[in-house]
Structure 1
Amino acid sequence: MQSIIRLKDIKIPEKELYELFKTATILDHLLSSHCGLPKGVNYMLIGDPVAGKTTVALDMVANIIRNHPRIKVLFISAEMNEIDLSIYLERFSKFGNIPTLFVKSDITQNTHYHKYIQSILDEGWDIVLIDSFLELQGIIKEEESITNKTAESWLLTLIKKHNIGKNKTEKNISFITIQQVTKSGAFVGSNRLKHMITAMMELRLTNTKNPFSDRYIIFSKHRRGVVGQKLYYDLSCEENIWYDEERYHKGIEINQMNKEAKKQNFEMFKNFSNLFKS
């Protein structure tokens, strides 16, 4: 059992607490209020079909590696195989620099990926990208003959353990987990999973019935940054995803003007109400 402790007595080195992993793109402004991906967090990425969840996640991680060449990054791919991902390299050669562990379900072999992943993570990593949480959960469920709930609990316990640096190198691992959604685009998972994540990063289409409509990133939950701010992006470019910085900044200006207008309306209403009190 964990003992009771005051927050001010928690020993966290200030330097490490504020160290961020930067993509060197406008996306950093969404990842946290301090610009960049923080240490020891759990960011879940969901989105509409064809929104490019895997592409955006790999692009983000590849950019971080480019800006922080000494960090350790791991991509756990439980959905795509080697051939699937090799096709990505035709357009995004930088993805080839991401260390990848392919997790394959094989009923003909007595595999135990849960134990293997435990040993791999214990080496200590800075960032771990998982695609997808649900698929990895399903593989563990089948291999260990356990329930979905137990498999999810195992994964969450493993993630929390490494968030706080319980590995050989005492690294506070940041996890980016891609999660599947329902046909309506809703998050798939338990309330425990939903509450445990640091941030929910959503990739949406402006028109879900039109796969060619504009795509944007928005955070619906964010303990380290802002929610509701849209960042539009384009997947058609080669090597790097294009982010619409001008549209992003205009969106911030509009939101600020709306806040000011609401504030003024509230003050006017309050002053008007005071006329009848005097």
Structure 2
Amino acid sequence: MKKIVKVKDIIFDKNLFVNYLSGTVLDLLLCSYRGLPKGVNYMVIGDPGVGKTTIILDLMANIHRIQPNVRMLFVSAEMNEIDLAIYVQRYPKFGELDIMFVEAEFDSDAHALDDFEEALRMGWDIVAIDSFYELQGIVKEEENITLKKSESLLLSIIKKQNKAKNERGVHTSFLTIQQVTKSGAFIGSNRLKHMTTAMMELRLDNPKNIYSDRYVTFSKHRRGDVGVKLYYSLSQTGDVYFDEERFYNDQKLRKLQNEVSTQLHEYADKFNKLFNNISDDK
């Protein structure tokens, strides 16, 4: 039987609740107390061409600039060295990140699953995976197992890293890009969804127009708010542009709407009490 405990009796290192900061307004979306938390699993999905890889690499590079001692690894199962070199030309800061390229090698004794587990055993503060579905497929083919079994093996490795079972004893945070269906729905099992701390969605205002405004939002968030939009642009070279002014204006508008809604509820309650008192008098 599993040991039964009270959360108040569990002792945590206070440093576990000190977040990683990127120095951009995106920090306000990542967590209610700002920044990327430790030991979490953030799934990143979105419409084709919205810049999922760019947003994640930009986040990691910004964290590296502010906190150079944070160890980060980008696991690329979709793009090769040449593909990433193009990214570095537009965003030179990406060149400072550690990258592990994963590809199926059926004529080699080396297996992606073993390489992935061995690399993570070293202990990384933040690991990004692009994409989980592609890595899952490579493991499936190399190990000659089902997709479900492949997913289970990868999630087991990720869970161990969340709980700091690595050489450095750090609670690894994962930023995992996942593919979606043509309708934009998340691809993955219920277990994968349940292990997800937050679901970051990158969307277009008009999904049929690749040139329409793009925004980041969360549809699931155990560390922050859902439904809040942060608009961004990839048109600049060097950094992703986040529209701070629009974000703060929207924030003020939401606050005002909440205040009005609260007042309306209070007036409704007062009216109901008054109406009930009049009815009682009759």
Residue in 1 aligned with 2:40?
Answer: 41
Give, in angstroms, the shift of residue 275 of structure 1.
Answer: 2.5
- Provide the secondary structure at the position in 1 that maps to 2:149: helix
Give, in angstroms, the shift of residue 53 of structure 1.
Answer: 0.2
Alpha-carbon distance in 2 for matches of 1:262, 1:110? 63
Residue in 1 aligned with 2:170?
Answer: 171
Q: Does 1:232 align with 2:223?
A: no
Alpha-carbon distance in 2 for matches of 1:187, 1:70? 33
* Of 147-156 and 267-276, the range deviating more from structure 2: 267-276
Residue in 1 aligned with 2:186?
Answer: 187
Letter of the aligned partner of 2:9 in structure 1? D
Q: Superposition pairs for residues 46-61 of structure 1, below 5 Å?
A: 46-61=45-60
Residue in 1 aligned with 2:11?
Answer: 11
CA contact (8 A) 1:23 1:36 kept: yes
RMSD: 1.1
CA contact (8 A) 1:111 1:143 kept: no
CA contact (8 A) 1:202 1:218 kept: yes
What is the TM-score normalised by the length of structure 2?
0.95
CA contact (8 A) 2:233 2:241 kept: yes
Letter of the aligned partner of 1:224 in structure 2? R
Alpha-carbon distance in 1 for matches of 2:255, 2:182? 34
Residue in 1 aligned with 2:101?
Answer: 102
Alpha-carbon distance in 2 for matches of 1:134, 1:259? 39
- Provide the secondary structure at the position in 1 that maps to 2:165: coil
Which string of whole-angstrom CA distances, capped at 9 and with x for unpartnered residues, describes residues 223-254 of structure 1?
11111111000101010001000000011111
* Of 103-112 and 36-45, the range deviating more from structure 2: 103-112
Give, in angstroms, the shift of residue 109 of structure 1.
Answer: 2.8
Q: Does 1:82 align with 2:71?
A: no
CA contact (8 A) 1:29 1:35 kept: yes
Alpha-carbon distance in 2 for matches of 1:67, 1:161? 27
- Provide the secondary structure at the position in 2 that maps to 1:216: strand
Letter of the aligned partner of 1:86 in structure 2? A
- Provide the secondary structure at the position in 2 that maps to 1:54: helix
What is the TM-score normalised by the length of structure 1?
0.97
CA contact (8 A) 2:45 2:200 kept: yes
Alpha-carbon distance in 2 for matches of 1:2, 1:124? 27
Q: Superposition pairs for residues 9-158 of structure 1, below 5 Å?
A: 9-14=9-14, 16-158=15-157
Alpha-carbon distance in 1 for matches of 2:45, 2:167? 31
Alpha-carbon distance in 2 for matches of 1:2, 1:20? 30
Letter of the aligned partner of 2:43 in structure 1? M
Alpha-carbon distance in 1 for matches of 2:11, 2:158? 21
Give, in angstroms, the shift of residue 91 of structure 1.
Answer: 0.7
Residue in 1 aligned with 2:261?
Answer: 262
Letter of the aligned partner of 2:261 in structure 1? K
Letter of the aligned partner of 2:190 in structure 1? N
The runs of at least 4 consecutive aligned structure 1 residues that moved more than 3 Å come to none
- Between structure 1 and structure 2, the one with the greater Rg is 2
Give, in angstroms, the shift of residue 2 of structure 1.
Answer: 4.0
Letter of the aligned partner of 2:18 in structure 1? E
Alpha-carbon distance in 2 for matches of 1:34, 1:80? 33
Letter of the aligned partner of 1:234 in structure 2? S
Which string of whole-angstrom CA distances, capped at 9 and with x for unpartnered residues, describes residues 157-190 of structure 1?
1111111101111110011000001111111101
Give, in angstroms, the shift of residue 267 of structure 1.
Answer: 1.7
Alpha-carbon distance in 2 for matches of 1:162, 1:206? 36
Alpha-carbon distance in 1 for matches of 2:105, 2:167? 30
Alpha-carbon distance in 2 for matches of 1:148, 1:111? 20
